[in-house]
Structure 1
């Protein structure tokens, strides 16, 4: 070979190696949750048959996890040398913090505790090919990019909840759920084990809990709001044995996940009372509940009940070493207590003011017992009613007020408001979404959650331990459906709780999530993929009302749109600017790969009902509740109706216990033929249509119209025979307090209102 050819070959090799090196340099880690500090270095580390690992007993759990991960997903067998080294570093202050340094010749994992090193391993895990997750990457070499990370969590409590009372799931699935939490650096699994519809934990001293309380005769079919209620006629139930629970607890401990058991009291206890009627106030036989809701049969406050609960808790404490035991405390109707001689005598003898203080007595007595055993209680925010037990931690679910009250009183708080943390809510506007309880909680809204209420001072904020996502399973009969509702919102919650709030960026998170989907695929997790869907937003631009379309993932993607209701295809017009709304029409859109016929995601459809109030100036005397703010006041006159099957989407507005007055300014006097709107009447979700609606025009007196319909959706329309007006006033009076015997009895009712159509 002549010198010229040698030179060319050398140059080609140099270019090739340079490109390879450049590729390593350009690899951007797509880690979820995003680390607090990360720097991409030069070069990469190669794991192969000659690679070794060293660790002390301090890091035994995390090191063995890494070994099992590498050797289980490849033909590589790690040797005994310090190519990968776990190093004790006491300068790292946070027990869950870590430092990860990947260099071409070495990987160092530094931590103060094994749990910190475990989280370093979970970060390192995400740098491996996704195929490692299902043991199909049978190669003898893995290239890991050079990277330096210093990381620690923002919150100490990072949790997910799972209700197995309504529907229960296999031991294998519970372990899979825990695995996912650990991978995402979540450290708490709140296991909701007892309910009106089923008791799921073996208590050996009370065998009827397994024989009777664990099974219901049949289960509600469809949604609770569907009338009349239908049932499947099939016996349903089961429970986890103590041996199974011990196995699951040990499994979780190996992944640094603490399991907090929840044993509901005094409410949500009908299943236990079905097994032992003497635990209730009436002593009468009841059945394990076969539908969802809140039931009046709750534990009686007599000594025999407390003896039963103490015996149950003794066995629970033997199974769960957690600091906390969750005792529920929520949704406990006082109807039975008000009529119970024993409960009324106790109120008198203990000098209590009412049944709410009796609940405080109940919770405090249980707390004292658990404190005597070295444990602490945590409960839903109703435990604040009648006074808070001395050492209790509050789980705030009905908004942030409970959290604020508890924190200002010096009590620890875990944030789990419905507005951002209830993963049993719908996550997409798609009509083919699986049946859910209601509500609307998007991935973006979860990601935007800040667990620290703004009204707290820095000192008070220290009492906020963290937050958790909740999975209530009334409408999740299968494990696949639980995963669909949990993922990817669980990933968003993991970043809310681990990463610094200031460093979060939703657009960046979405790009990392798109990549993470491949790992979820490998893990056989049935996630909801809404990344390629089209989202529509009504805007005002240049004096016109328009519909703007958007999609989360834009790189290499385009939106194609039709304006006549046809299904969009690769020949449909490309969306380039907002669509003017000047007539009634059906708009459809979908995401396509650029220069491709391939459609991604589902078709977006928006029907526009053009009427005289579109674009009008509108105001409401009360702001909608933060959890159900829809598109704001303008959403009531944007030409778009809310969903027929769910409340809480972008169009329905929700108000809790308030009368509202809506003012619509048309800008000029116009002829009014009719006004129509509609109300959601889902009593099972504490939502009640108003008893009457009042209208006024300009400076006239209000006219009252009664609503007597009891349908789920109440359509209201009134004709005004050519009335002329510039301003229209709509007064909606709240239903008031929910009556006894109904779900949410004693609480204020919600009002949900949809589009106000002026013709």
Structure 2
């Protein structure tokens, strides 16, 4: 037998094997974001090389995207002629939501029905999650796939579903930007907010101003460690990079194929130090300055003069052709007015235009740039500071400092996008574990992201129509690599995708966690370095009927909790947790989640100090900020000290710009010897220890006042000896006041953060 016959015979045998191979098992539906309607039927569709691909012309790009996906992950070759069964992309203009779709799976057909290519693409993404995870790679190459029969009718809750990425602080390669976009598209996110300019680096090629690439794209060195660490240290290494216009076009086209609009952000008038390093004549002083080497807010911003406006208009002229979307983001945040106050050009413009002050000048600056951008057929988005001095006529507001900016803008009938730091800043810590990688601060666990409601309750039904949606932000001061971007963004971006897509009536965090466990297997195949805190434990101190207990909670039902109270690490033979642990003395609890055979979580540790105020009554003259009140007022007298690094955990309470009076009722006359607490002093996050603490004892004549030292230490300890018998203790915290020039948050009132109040 010659070699040709042998090869033909082998190919024939291989074909027979493939033809008789059993289909992969149908995937149990665990779709994220959860569809509005999903009904499972009996039976399966068999996807194989006997399947025909049919599509309307308008859906060709989506259908071919689907075909490429099947081809790269399997040995299936979809047919163009009549076959045993079919997958059809069908246009139906009666679907009244441009992004809505219907997915029908029956034994003889799969139909994805939509009014637009966007809807068809989202139908494919739901179908994708019904296919084997192995298709995300090219390893297993199945020749037949069983798909569960079902019907889905689905449409998004919000029109704006976004993820942001700051490439100004740290620069990321084109391939990673594409991966970031891919991960967004799987979750039916439709907007990529690309933060391209910052004090620390200008990241987009502008051909008319070559120094933006040659000078502004690079800084001399970078801060080591956290901004709050004193003294500041630097690595001494030049750092930077930029995207050419051809690379930008490539990325935008890549995103467009995945139904994602890219919104560029070109910061103005603040966060401009990198640009001013290249063209110092655009500043108020004209003095040479380098791109910033540390994080924060800087006084050198664009000068409000004609040459600046000409520069920015020229930049916009090169930006607009690269980005076909509706919006240009112009920043507008954190622009100190220090230089403007002493600048002859700025003061002359204020006088000429009859403006009230420098805030009015910022409004003029933004409005003037908006008119220019509007004249080019685009609209602007700005951070909520663009409300100061008066909102530009057609601006969309991105509310980050809580929801107040969104409420104010919506009541003025301006479109708003919610991205408050409390729920949408994915650069914050997501776990209380001590081994978490360095982050800017705060605490934003997965469940809190999932709990977010983008429609502020202060809005009427009519005003709520101006809420376009929400966005997750990834600021990269402390995120130096693609792997860490993924760690910080995922799975929190997955939770947000369900917030902005799914009907709130269908949402359940318990159900979401179960679907997320399945989704993370897909991320494993895609080599995404997500953070996995699903099996971590949480705990709560409970006081009821004079009894004190500590409650442990697992994240899912398929975990066992085992714990110790003697300081040893929990093992498979440790005490099985069956209910709250009674606390009668100072106790350190160590606990972990276990399967039947091994530990499946990190060790949870909590130390409880039973001082004289634990479990007593407490009241406050002003409530803590809703964003920093996770543990409630009882957090200050529950015997548990907060994190040394993370002011956003549930043991710290935060107050915005106000004096606070705290009253503790011990319930009866009690002999006390000392009162101590501590204050966070993270000035990089606008947090300052109080200037002084006043202590009184209602019903007693004695009172004490202690001035706190001025220091850059991250934590400021406070203690007074107070030998007295009293029922009530009253602490008045005098807020630091206005943050001085040259500091982050300059001109704003400082935050006050207080930890456990220990009474002995």
Q: In structure 1, the residue corresponding to 2:442 is in which secondary structure? A: strand
Q: Deviations over 1:615-656 (max 9, x none)?
A: 111111211111111301100011111001121101010000
Is 2:303–2:346's contact at 8 Å kept on the other side of the alignment? yes
Tell me by how many angstroms 1:42 deviates: 0.8
Partner of 1:8: none
Q: What is the SS of the residue equivalent to 1:311?
A: helix
Identify the residue that residue 43 of structure 1 maps to in structure 2. 43
CA RMSD of aligned residues (A): 1.2
Equivalent position of 2:15 in the other structure: none
1:166 and 2:156 matched: no
Aligned to 1:626: 626
| Partner Cα distance (1:671, 1:560) in 2 | 38
Looking at structure 2, the residues matched to 613 and 157 of structure 1 have their Cα atoms a distance apart, in angstroms, of 48
Aligned residue in 1 for 2:615? 615
Matches of 1:725 and 1:275, distance apart in 2:
65
2:718 aligned with 1:719? no
Deviations 1:467-491 (A, max 9, x none): 1000000000011100000000000
Deviation of the 1:350 alpha carbon: 0.4
Task: Name 2:410's counterpart in structure 1.
Answer: 407
For residue 137 of structure 1, report the CA deviation from its aligned partner: 2.6
Q: Pick the aligned partner of 1:378 from 372, 375, 381.
A: 381
Query: In the alignment, what sits opposite 1:61?
Result: 61
Structure 2 Cα separation of the partners of residues 744 and 399 of structure 1: 15
Distance 2:722 2:189 in 1: 58
- Could you give the per-residue CA deviations for residues 655-686 of structure 1, whole angstroms, max 9, x where no partner exists? 00111111111111111011100000011110
User: Contact 1:545–1:614 at 8 Å: present in 2 too?
Assistant: no
Q: What is the deviation of 1:697?
A: 1.5
Q: How is 1:290-689 mapped onto 2 (pairs within 5 angstroms)?
A: 290-555=293-558, 557-594=559-596, 596=597, 598-689=598-689
- 1:91-116 CA distance string (max 9 Å, x none): 11001000000011110110011110
Tell me, which stretches of 5 or more residues in structure 1 are unaligned?
Answer: 1-19
Distance 2:548 2:520 in 1: 37
Alpha-carbon offset, residue 249 of structure 1: 0.3
Q: Deviations over 1:57-86 (max 9, x none)?
A: 211121111111111101111011461011
Partners of 1:753 and 1:77 lie apart in 2 by 64
- Decide whether the 8 Å contact of 2:654 with 2:752 is kept in 1: yes
Q: 1:182 aligns with which of 164, 167, 185?
A: 185
Measured in 2, the distance between the counterparts of 1:183 and 1:712 equals: 40
Contact 1:44 1:145 in 2 (8 A): yes
CA displacement 1:390-409 (0-9 Å, x = unmatched): 00000000011111110011
Secondary structure (helix, strand or coil) at the match of 2:152 reads strand
Q: Distance in 2 between matches of 1:668 and 1:626?
A: 31
> Are 1:273 and 1:279, in contact at CA under 8 Å, matched by a contact in 2?
yes
Q: What residue is the counterpart of 2:747 in the other structure?
A: 746
Give the secondary structure class of the aligned counterpart of 2:661.
strand
Q: Deviations over 1:366-409 (max 9, x none)?
A: 00000100000000000000000000000000011111110011
Partner secondary structure for residue 700 of structure 1: coil
Query: Secondary structure in 2 aligned to 1:107?
Result: strand
Q: Is the 8 A contact 1:61 1:118 kept in 2?
A: no
* Alignment check: 8 A CA contact 2:28 2:130 kept: no
Match of 2:10 in 1: none
Which residue of structure 2 lines up, in the alignment, with residue 730 of structure 1? 731
Residue 71 of structure 1: aligned partner:
71
User: Aligned partners of 1:699 and 1:190: how far apart in 2?
Assistant: 58
Once the two structures are TM-superposed, the CA of residue 541 in structure 1 deviates from its matched residue by: 3.4
1:6-155 correspondence runs (5 A):
28-80=28-80, 81=82, 83-155=86-158
Q: Distance in 2 between matches of 1:69 and 1:541?
A: 57
2:215 paired with 1:212: yes
The Cα shift of 1:542 comes to 4.1
What's the CA shift for 1:358?
Answer: 0.3
Secondary structure of the structure 2 residue equivalent to 1:451: coil
Give the distance between the partners of 2:586 and 2:710, measured in 1 at CA: 29
CA distance in structure 1 between the partners assigned to 2:630 and 2:121 by the alignment: 41
Q: C-alpha displacement at 1:28, in angstroms?
A: 4.4
Alpha-carbon distance in structure 2 between the residues aligned to 1:730 and 1:98: 58
Q: Is the 8 A contact 1:414 1:467 kept in 2?
A: yes
- For the 8 Å contact 1:588–1:603, the answer to whether it is kept is yes
Assess if the C-alpha contact under 8 Å between 2:133 and 2:525 holds in 1: yes
1:100 and 1:539 map into 2 onto residues whose CA distance is 48
CA offsets 1:242-280 (integer angstroms, 9 cap, x no match): 110000000000000000000000000000000000000
Alpha-carbon separation, structure 2, partners of 1:136 and 1:658 = 60
Q: Secondary structure at the match of 2:367?
A: helix
Matched pairs, number: 733
1:580 CA drift (Å): 1.7
SS of the aligned residue for 1:426 comes to: coil
> Structure 1 residue 726: deviation in Å?
1.0
Answer yes or no: is the 8 Å Cα contact 1:588–1:606 preserved in 2: yes
Q: For the Cα contact (< 8 Å) 1:653–1:752, is it kept in 2? A: yes
Measure the CA separation in 2 of the matches of 1:552 and 1:28: 21
Which residue of the other structure, out of 253, 256, 260, is the alignment partner of 1:253? 256
For the 8 Å contact 2:700–2:726, the answer to whether it is kept is: no
SS class of match (1:100): strand
Structure 1 residue ranges, 4+ long, deviating more than 4 angstroms after superposition: none
Q: Is the 8 A contact 2:264 2:328 kept in 1?
A: yes
Instruction: Determine if contact 1:28/1:40 at 8 Å carries over to the other structure.
Output: no
SS at match of 1:743: coil
Kindly provide the CA deviation profile for residues 480-519 of structure 1, in whole angstroms up to 9, marking residues without a partner as x.
1000000000000000000011221100001100111100
